[in-house]
Every structure is written in structure tokens, then in C-alpha cells.
């Protein structure tokens, strides 16, 4: 069975500074990895995904994530945070070799301070 951990409930960063939201995962087979963002009173929105290929994945709104197989991590990053990036971020994994069962992490609340 697959699982996802987001070790930080809350991340605070000053506007203009780089941000990192951490995610580690566990799957039996090959991982498909995703980041989603949830703004207040809005539905979950897709940010980016890793399926195969380059370990550095670029996504929406200037976000990127790095797949690290040895550390089983898929941390979300952005070089310069904006106040409007403040939201709830979810990491998710699907085992490519088994079904369509997506497992989401518990979420990390990002607060970007002006």
C-alpha cells in the first residue's frame, strides 16, 4: 500500500524568499507523484506531476518539485514566494503498477508574510 507524509503542518515564509514544502512517499511499485493546491473556498487545483523523465518538474504559478528516488521525496519549491501563494498544499502518490488509488498527504498550510 502507498502512503504520503507531509512532515510540516505549517510553513511560514517571507514574501520574496524561497519556499519549500516537504513530501515523502512510500509505494511498492513505480511512483506517480503530484502536488495540488487548495485556496480558501475553492476546489483543489493541480500544480504539477512527476511520471517519468527529468527529476525536476516545473508546474503552474512558478512552482517546481524535485523527485528524489533514493530519499523517496518530492519536495515542492518556488524561488520567490508571493503573498498570493498562501494556501493549503497537498502531495499525492499513485502506484503506477497498481490501480487508480491516489493517496493524498494531510496537507501543509503555507503562509507567505508580506
Partner 1 sequence: GAGVSQTPSNKVTEKGKYVELRCDPISGHTALYWYRQSLGQGPEFLIYFQGTGAADDSGLPNDRFFAVRPEGSVSTLKIQRTERGDSAVYLCASSSLAGRRDEQFFGPGTRLTVL
CA 66 vs. chain centroid, Å, equals 10
d(C-alpha 64, C-alpha 57), whole Å:
5
Per CB under 8 A, the list member of 92, 93, 110, 112 interacting with partner 1 is 92
Per CB under 8 A, the list member of 3, 28, 45, 55 interacting with partner 1 is 45
49 binds partner 1 (CB under 8 A): yes
Per CB under 8 A, the list member of 13, 23, 94, 112 interacting with partner 1 is 94
106 binds partner 1 (CB under 8 A): yes
32 binds partner 1 (CB under 8 A): yes
75 binds partner 1 (CB under 8 A): no
Residues 67/33, Cβ–Cβ less than 8 Å: yes
Amino acid at each position: 500500500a502507498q502512503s504520503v507524509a507531509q512532515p510540516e503542518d505549517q510553513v511560514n515564509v517571507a514574501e520574496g524568499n524561497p519556499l519549500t514544502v516537504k513530501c515523502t512517499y512510500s509505494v511498492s511499485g513505480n511512483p506517480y507523484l503530484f502536488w495540488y493546491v487548495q485556496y480558501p473556498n475553492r476546489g483543489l487545483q493541480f500544480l504539477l506531476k512527476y511520471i517519468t523523465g527529468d527529476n525536476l518538474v516545473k508546474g503552474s504559478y512558478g512552482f517546481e518539485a524535485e523527485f528524489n528516488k533514493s530519499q523517496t521525496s518530492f519536495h515542492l519549491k518556488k524561488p520567490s514566494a508571493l503573498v498570493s501563494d498562501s494556501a493549503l498544499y497537498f502531495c499525492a502518490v499513485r502506484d503506477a503498477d497498481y490501480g487508480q488509488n491516489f493517496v493524498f498527504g494531510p496537507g501543509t498550510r503555507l503562509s507567505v508574510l508580506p
